[in-house]
Amino acid sequence: MRAAPKRAAFLFILMRWFCLHSENDYFSKNCFMKKIFYTLFIFSNLSLIAQGKKFFENGDVQLKSTVEKINLKYSTDLPFVKVSINGKIYNFLLDTGAPTVISTAVYTDLGLEKKYKSSVKDSQKNKQDQIFTVLPEMIVDQLVFKNIGVMVMDLTATEFECFKVDGILGSNQMAKLFWRINYDENSLEATRDLSRFDLTGYDIIIPFDVKDQKTPIIKASILDQKINFTFDTGSSGNIKITNNNYNSKKVTEKIDVYGNSSVGAFGAGNPVSGYIFKASNIAVGNKTFNKAMVATGSSNLIGNDFLKNFVFVLDWEGRKIYMKQIKEASYKLESFGFGYRFIDSKPTVVYVLQEENFPLMVGDSIISINNINLDNLDKEGVCHYFLNRVEKDVTAIDMKIKRGGVVMSVNLKKKMYLKADS
């Protein structure tokens, strides 16, 4: 029997390296390179040569109260929850774009039994065999999940370790309940009965379909095209479309970009050209949004930089998302013109805004920024500067880089590439 493709869109850390933000929120005052529109880990269009749909439907959940209030920490535009497994507390990403995942370390500690092994292909077409197993119990505050199907993954890469992520509470697990999420108040609630949530004022209604691991897929109209988007709480970005959905004839405000726009679960892709642009309108469900900021890349998704402007309720039973807007967003693109990530503990330029005579190139090794030595960092140093970027809250930087064995000095000032709408 032919294997069915399954999209486990684990878009784990989609960070914006330009200042793409709501002028009314906290990050308008704290926009820095850590928040790049650059995908560090993406399991978008992940293909599982799989046992299939039934595996992700297994399991059940018990509640003590009609509506359970759950710990939520919204940080760096990503939602995290504390879970208890076998009496030990772990940090999990709350991710509608992925199935539930546990780290190899958790799998080993619990001595779980492998149910099957499947070839998994990431967004960069790299393949690896991954273990799938059943987690006997996971406790999330007063929610008790039993016999949940999970994927086992190695989460020891630098970015995972720096965020101290032990796994993902994914869509196959979330689909067993109704959820209300308010990032602005670090609020997460779950219930078996949708009527327990007062939906007064939730005037935006978005129907969705699901992939086999229950990830919500919504239809939206952009650039005069109808596109399927992943509704992805595991993405810290705004709105993203694939390069082949981009239509230059429909765009008036754009910036050309070049670089590794995504790094797959099992390796990096080749540098590619892309765009950051303002879409004149995007129609989602019964609502049309004007002048939204969009980037091209390897997947179509709607992430938390967009979702944080709403309180939203997820209804897998009725296949609907109910949204109430709580703040307006006016987006702008302000940047030093490049993005970097730590590769083998060395900060390396991976993404640049294409403009004439720009001094940095993809692949440049960064030695220092503003006299802070970033070369030869240990693991602790890498995590410190990954989470606390040197260029935070400054408008000019002096850099030393190395290219082809030659050390060069570069001076950059932050620049407005796309202005906020008045």
Please report, for the domain that includes residue 365, its CATH number.
Answer: 2.30.42.10
Domain of 60: which CATH number?
A: 2.40.70.10
State the pLDDT confidence band at 288, using cuts at 50, 70 and 90: very high
Report how far residue 159's alpha carbon sits from residue 163's, in angstroms, rounded to the nearest whole number: 6
What tens digit of pLDDT does each residue of 304-330 get? 999 999 999 999 999 999 999 999 877
- Has residue 167 been placed in a domain? yes
Say what percent of the chain tops pLDDT 70. 82
In this structure, the answer to whether residues 136 and 259 fall within a common structural domain is no
**Residues in Cβ contact with 62 at an 8 Å cutoff, skipping those fewer than 6 apart:** 143, 144, 146
In this structure, the answer to whether residues 259 and 358 fall within a common structural domain is no
The residue among 303, 333, 363 that closes a domain is 333
In this structure, the answer to whether residues 321 and 345 fall within a common structural domain is no
What tens digit of pLDDT does each residue of 357-384 get? 999 999 999 999 999 999 989 999 999 9
pTM, two decimals, is: 0.87
What tens digit of pLDDT does each residue of 56-75 get? 888 999 999 999 999 999 99
In this structure, the answer to whether residues 185 and 77 fall within a common structural domain is yes
In this structure, the answer to whether residues 111 and 176 fall within a common structural domain is yes
In this structure, the answer to whether residues 344 and 396 fall within a common structural domain is yes
Cβ-based neighbour number of residue 385 at 10 Å: 18
In this structure, the answer to whether residues 329 and 341 fall within a common structural domain is no
The mean per-residue pLDDT over the stretch 274-297 comes to 93
- Has residue 29 been placed in a domain? no
Say yes or no to pLDDT of 9 above 70.
no
Q: Are 321 and 307 in contact (CB under 8 A)?
A: no
What tens digit of pLDDT does each residue of 164-188 get? 889 999 999 999 999 999 999 999 9
Angle at 414 between CA 413 and CA 417, to 5 degrees: 125
Task: State the pLDDT at residue 53.
Answer: 66
In this structure, the answer to whether residues 234 and 326 fall within a common structural domain is yes
In this structure, the answer to whether residues 58 and 185 fall within a common structural domain is yes
Say yes or no to pLDDT of 41 above 70.
no
In this structure, the answer to whether residues 289 and 376 fall within a common structural domain is no
Say yes or no to pLDDT of 246 above 70.
yes
Q: Are 293 and 333 in contact (CB under 8 A)?
A: yes
Place of tokens 């995590």: 383
Structural domain harbouring 133: 54-191
- Has residue 20 been placed in a domain? no
In this structure, the answer to whether residues 254 and 267 fall within a common structural domain is yes
- Has residue 69 been placed in a domain? yes
